[in-house]
A and B are shown apart, each in its own frame.
Chain A
Amino acid sequence: SQKIEQNSEALNIQEGKTATLTCNYTNYSPAYLQWYRQDPGRGPVFLLLIRENEKEKRKERLKVTFDTTLKQSLFHITASQPADSATYLCALDTGGFKTIFGAGTRLFVKA
């Protein structure tokens, strides 16, 4: 079955450093992949989408890479800030209406 794996352990980094989060998937070949941010008690918020033919996508301090050979996406936040502390979810398309989400990685940025 389709499976998405994200770092289950929380990521703790110092303010100003680059945070790198990993999303690995198996048994599927998605045409695109999305990253969402979720704060406690709130719904996920869309951040970035990257297509299978794109190696890298950037938006302000965010950068996403997509390696369809490794079946992996990396999500980077440069110059991280305490306000970036949240859970980050990776999501894959299934070619239809269903989006499959990973369990998310919690990021803590210390001042």
Chain B
Amino acid sequence: GAGVSQSPRYKVAKRGQDVALRCDPISGHVSLFWYQQALGQGPEFLTYFQNEAQLDKSGLPSDRFFAERPEGSVSTLKIQRTQQEDSAVYLCASSSGQGLSYNEQFFGPGTRLTVL
């Protein structure tokens, strides 16, 4: 497919479990973003990669959140010891530009995480 894909689409975790969310960006896109979207809210920035380099992680809410993009394509967002407040939709977006926020971002469908 030509778009951004994310997996799994839905994830239910028990409190305290670790989860890993995957993002496949559009091929060749340099920039990759992760966002967290709570119900009824807009996406909130978590982190930004330019190729394999994580240039901004200022939005990660705690040290339980970790993201990587080791080969500059697929990215994984990991949440350790999940808590109920982590329940949200996690969106991934990619862009052909080098991350400046005027570049159009292409979003994936998101992963809906529910922590029980």
The residues of A with any CB-CB pair to B shorter than 8 Å are 4, 31-32, 34, 41-46, 49, 51, 89, 91, 93-104
Partner of B101, one of A41, A43, A89, A98: A98
Interface size class of B (residues with CB under 8 A): 20 to 34
B contact set with A: CB distance below 8 Å: 4, 31, 33, 35, 40-45, 48, 55-56, 58-59, 91, 93, 99-102, 104-110
In the complex formed, the residue of B with least CB distance to A30 is: B101
> B105 to A46, Cβ gap below 8 A?
yes
A residues near B101, Cβ cutoff 8 Å: 91, 93-99
Closest to A89 in B: B42
| CB closest chain-A residue, reference B4 | A43
Across the interface, name the chain B residue whose C-beta is closest to A102.
B42
- By DSSP majority rule, is chain B's interface helix, strand, loop, or mixed? loop
- What residues of A have a CB within 8 angstroms of the CB of B41 in the complex? 103-104
Query: Which residues of chain B are near A42, meaning CB under 8 Å?
Result: 107, 109-110
Q: In whole angstroms, how far apart are the Cα atoms of A49 and B103 in the complex?
A: 9
Which residues of the partner chain B approach A31 to less than 8 Å between Cβ atoms? 102
